[in-house]
Amino acid sequence: MSTSTGSPTSTPDVTVTVIVYNDAERLPRAVASVLRQTHANIEIVISDDHSTDATEDVARRLAARDPRVVYLRLPENSGGCSAPRNRALEIARAPYLMFLDSDDELPERAVEVLLAAHRARDLDFAMGAVHRIRVDGGRRTTWMPDLVAERRTLDGIEADPRLFFEHLATSKMYARAFLDRHGLRFPEGIHYEDQLFSAQAYCLAKTFTIVPEPVYRWYVAPYAASDAASISNQRYKLTNVRDRVRVQRLIDAFLADSGYESLREDKDFKFLKHDFRMYAGDLPYRDDAWLASFADIVNPYLDTLAPGACARLPRAERVVLQLVRDRRLSDVREAARGLGYDVAPRRTTADPADGRTYWGEELPRSGQARRELDLTGLDLDTRPFFSARLRHEITGIARGPGASIDLAVRTYDPALRLPVGPQRATLHLSPGRRRLTVSFCLSPVRPGIFEGRVRLDLASVRLPLHGFEGVRHPVLRLHHQGRTHTGILLAPLSFPALTARVPYRGGATPHRVTVEPEGHNPGRLQLRWQPVGSTATLIRPTARRLATPRVKRAVRLAASLLR
């Protein structure tokens, strides 16, 4: 282990550890975010997990420029986040500690805000809000917003077990004395180390404070290439599934050994609602061999969960969970495509013996399966039409004349909510603020199934004058007795993307339009617009520069005067 340091003149108040591995490009941004902190009496330990790119040179230059920066290089790569953090803890000089990943940043007041919470009262740690920033569009959201909405101090995790969901180690400032008193360090040799470390910290802490101010910027690249994706986004690897289950078992053992068994149901609910749910959204894209291995890994662990944890899930998630347990692999894919969108199964089955309605084309084979696959409580046959459970699938897609695509659509109505006969349907698409509506007819082919064809002319879509860049997902609307139902349109999970250069408004603003499956989540039909020519190089950049609040107000005033 090698260490490079400046010449600090006093003991720092806070040590911020920046862990890095082969990230020479983003490391300066992370370190700069710490150097910009409004509280300046800090120490920065760059802990390098034996990078093989230019990270070492970059880190040594950063350390040479500012005496607050220390460079620590591990003698060999550990393959995870734990060892770099633990080695930095060994040399950290401050009484308070924070952790930062090299691809993320700290907001300017993060250290000030969390340190002020510690100085206001004797805390084991303080935590704040995390802003998640999508690198593919800049969209910013708050991670677990309900948990950090207001300032509060808790005397232990029992006061709010929901905090198990906020398992990030990087959103917190720890008292060094707290970590040392309990020998609390990051578990080495496993992934998802934050989950175990945070569960232990929550349970061992006597007092901690939550502040609503943002203290961490987490940059998320959800669709990064496989070799560049973060560990949490490598869910296609079965080793990833094993790692996540392994850390859950370690947490369970800690809860039992430390006297916190009463929190097991809350922790198990977090596993089902967060960890298992992440895999469930990907299940439609997995083949039978992968799904069988997935069931082999998770089912033994599912059998150990507190029964009440599953009962707290929405019915759609309980259905997927049970189908995995029953190893109904093709049904798993179908059910998982409905998660989060109230999409119906293709069929339901009624049992005349008990009058109950069950998911799928067969009756459940066990008492547990009957409980979990029972859809009777959803009132599929009586709920208001706007919330009826229907399923719209594209069964065929082809190029039409010009810049059009032809879609074959099948609608499943398992509760027989639609009357017998042709149904008036419309396809809606809204790039920009203007909507394209295409009417077509869905004809009955047998009870509960309707089919139709619709042509979507991409050249007829009305775009803003400055063009449009982005993605839209068409929706399908049905009209019945003055009521409207809107549902998503599921695409085939794999079909070759159809791309065309579309001339809009007489060719003045051409766009490249791609029609493709969504590629994640339920797999909706997706259309992607990309301006080309003068639209991309001149019109849109000019429009962005002019789109200031003052210009927008002037435009609205002029429009009102003209009216």
Please check whether residue 286 is in contact with residue 294, taking contact to mean a CB–CB distance below 8 angstroms: yes
Shared domain for 429 and 295, answered yes or no, is: no
* Residue ending a domain, choose from 220, 247, 263: 220
Shared domain for 353 and 400, answered yes or no, is: no
- Please check whether residue 558 lies inside any domain of the structure: no
Question: What pLDDT is attached to residue 191?
Answer: 87
Question: What pLDDT is attached to residue 226?
Answer: 45
Residue whose pair of structure tokens reads 């008292």 in the numeric block:
175
**Separation CA 177–CA 304 (nearest Å):** 35
Shared domain for 190 and 272, answered yes or no, is: no
Shared domain for 391 and 357, answered yes or no, is: no
Shared domain for 24 and 66, answered yes or no, is: yes
Shared domain for 212 and 240, answered yes or no, is: no
* Residue ending a domain, choose from 197, 220, 243: 220
For 353-403, the pLDDT digits (tens) are 999 999 999 999 999 999 999 999 999 999 999 999 999 999 999 999 988
Relative orientation angle of helices 315-325 and 288-302, to the nearest 10 degrees? 100
- Please check whether residue 561 lies inside any domain of the structure: no
Q: Which two tokens stand for residue 262?
A: 């009463």
Shared domain for 177 and 256, answered yes or no, is: no
Question: What pLDDT is attached to residue 232?
Answer: 58
Number of folded domains in the chain? 3
CATH of the domain at 459: 2.60.40
* Residue ending a domain, choose from 220, 243, 267: 220
Average pLDDT score over residue span 210-214: 97
Question: What pLDDT is attached to residue 464?
Answer: 81
The boundaries of the domain holding residue 288 are 235-378
Question: What pLDDT is attached to residue 563?
Answer: 41
Shared domain for 351 and 458, answered yes or no, is: no
- Please check whether residue 212 lies inside any domain of the structure: yes
Indicate whether 505 pLDDT > 90. Answer: no
- Please check whether residue 552 lies inside any domain of the structure: no
What's the predicted TM-score (pTM) here? 0.88
Shared domain for 54 and 193, answered yes or no, is: yes
Q: Which two tokens stand for residue 442?
A: 């869905």
Question: What pLDDT is attached to residue 224?
Answer: 47
Categorize the per-residue pLDDT at 550 as very low, low, confident or very high, splitting at 50, 70 and 90: low
Question: What pLDDT is attached to residue 341?
Answer: 93
- Please check whether residue 363 lies inside any domain of the structure: yes
Categorize the per-residue pLDDT at 508 as very low, low, confident or very high, splitting at 50, 70 and 90: low
Categorize the per-residue pLDDT at 37 as very low, low, confident or very high, splitting at 50, 70 and 90: very high
Q: Is 244 exposed, middle or buried (0-12, 13-18, 19+ CB in 10 A)?
A: buried
Question: What pLDDT is attached to residue 190?
Answer: 87
For 43-96, the pLDDT digits (tens) are 999 999 999 999 999 999 999 999 999 999 999 999 999 999 999 999 999 999
Question: What pLDDT is attached to residue 435?
Answer: 85
Shared domain for 308 and 429, answered yes or no, is: no
- Please check whether residue 560 lies inside any domain of the structure: no
Question: What pLDDT is attached to residue 463?
Answer: 84
- Please check whether residue 228 lies inside any domain of the structure: no
Question: What pLDDT is attached to residue 317?
Answer: 97
Question: What pLDDT is attached to residue 519?
Answer: 85
Categorize the per-residue pLDDT at 555 as very low, low, confident or very high, splitting at 50, 70 and 90: very low
Shared domain for 421 and 458, answered yes or no, is: yes
DSSP state of 462: P
Question: What pLDDT is attached to residue 28?
Answer: 98
For 465-501, the pLDDT digits (tens) are 778 899 999 999 998 888 999 999 999 998 889 999 9
Question: What pLDDT is attached to residue 223?
Answer: 55
SS3 391: strand
More confident residue, 466 or 27: 27
Shared domain for 289 and 206, answered yes or no, is: no
CB count, 10 Å around CB of 36?
13
CATH of the domain at 55: 3.90.550.10
Question: What pLDDT is attached to residue 225?
Answer: 46
| C-alpha dist (Å) from residue 451 to 6, 201, 337, 342, 413 | 72, 56, 20, 20, 11
Question: What pLDDT is attached to residue 138?
Answer: 81
Q: Which two tokens stand for residue 549?
A: 């609040």
Range with lowest mean pLDDT among 108-122, 228-242, 319-333, 410-424? 228-242
Strands 423-429 and 475-480: antiparallel
- Please check whether residue 153 lies inside any domain of the structure: yes
**Separation CA 156–CA 433 (nearest Å):** 49
CB count, 10 Å around CB of 426?
16
Buried/exposed code over 163-195 (b: 16+ C-beta within 10 A; e: otherwise)? bbbbbbbbbbbbbbebbeeeebbbbeebbbbbb
